[in-house]
Amino acid sequence: MLGCGPARTGGVRVDPALRLLVPHDTVLLAGINMDALRKTPWFEKASLPLLDHFEKRTGLNVREDLWQALFVSDGVHSALLARGRFAEQGLEPRIQPPGMVRTPYKGHTLIGNKESAFTFVNSTVVVAGPPEAVKFILDQRGRSQGPPEALWQAALSVPADNQIWLAATGGLTPLAKAAPPSGNLANLARIFSALESAIAGADLRNGLKAFAQGEARTEEEARSLAGGIRGLIELARLSASDPVLQEVCNAIRLEPQGRMVRLDIELSPELFDRAYTRALSFFD
């Protein structure tokens, strides 16, 4: 598995208050170090759909007050854990977004509706997602000791200079099944279902320097995965009328080694700005 072995120093940091909320059967962690991301030139003008949606649903000023966000999933339940400066003097924020109701649950208050909800674990920690996922996180609280060791070590193997990162272990098939049944995300999920584990990171201090690395079950599946990715890249290159997408395709480096497949990409600030805008429309 990726990241197994002794804990590495210099890896990404997960806030201890968030780590202890991660259920023990989690298979995917994805983090955003907002304190570091805010220092990048890109951040002020960037669109971050997940956090913007979170801000809209909760009424919290996440761009200014959020310290760290952590997305967790076991393939069934998915939720966003976040820590930040949400209230003064240790008090729970008094927030009542329009159209949402407050519902008590095991000593906490869920604020939301049938589709989405959030709750403050304390004045600096909030859990958000579908109501059942939020309840699941609360149910595990106090019993979980954090993510599985293999997943935790995989996260530690992502270098700390990545403001955005991901780690997944235990087989990605459950996540592939949880993806939409059709569309671009579904196609990517089917390709990556061959992976046993994966890590990825993005450093946005000067344009984009990013990597993704996965371990397949067999060398044959690794070659098949690399071939599938190459096919997608070449298809995008040939069908793209947008020169930005062609430039991005040219910047991708793909390297399979045994059961491992690694992808690297480095974009200038100008190209990354244009590519990011294009990518948002790709995932709509």
Cβ contacts of 129-133, under 8 Å, gap ≥ 24? 129/77, 129/78, 129/79, 129/80, 130/77, 130/78, 130/79, 132/77, 133/77, 133/78, 133/79
Whether 122 and 181 map to the same domain: the answer is: no
Number of domains in the chain: 2
pLDDT of residue 191: 65
The CA-atom distances, in angstroms, between 66 and each of 34, 123, 145, 217, 238 are: 6, 12, 24, 38, 41
Q: What is the pLDDT of residues 23-43, one digit of tens each?
A: 999 999 999 999 999 999 988
Q: Does a structural domain hold residue 1?
A: no
Whether 97 and 204 map to the same domain: the answer is: no
Q: What is the pLDDT along the chain (284 residues), one digit of tens a residue?
A: 443 333 344 689 999 999 999 999 999 999 999 999 999 998 877 777 777 777 777 777 778 888 999 999 998 899 999 999 876 644 455 666 667 889 999 999 999 888 889 999 988 999 999 999 999 999 988 788 889 999 999 999 999 999 999 999 876 555 555 555 555 556 666 666 778 899 999 999 999 999 999 999 899 989 988 998 898 888 888 877 788 888 999 999 998 889 999 999 999 999 998 888 877 776 55
- Within 10 A of 227 (CB to CB), how many other CB atoms are there? 14
Whether 201 and 267 map to the same domain: the answer is: yes
- Domain C-terminal end among 140, 157, 188: 140
Interatomic CA distance for residues 44 and 38, integer angstroms:
7
Whether 130 and 23 map to the same domain: the answer is: yes
Length of the chain: 284
Whether 32 and 89 map to the same domain: the answer is: yes
Interatomic CA distance for residues 137 and 165, integer angstroms:
21
Interatomic CA distance for residues 271 and 84, integer angstroms:
32
- Domain C-terminal end among 99, 123, 140: 140
The model's pTM: 0.84
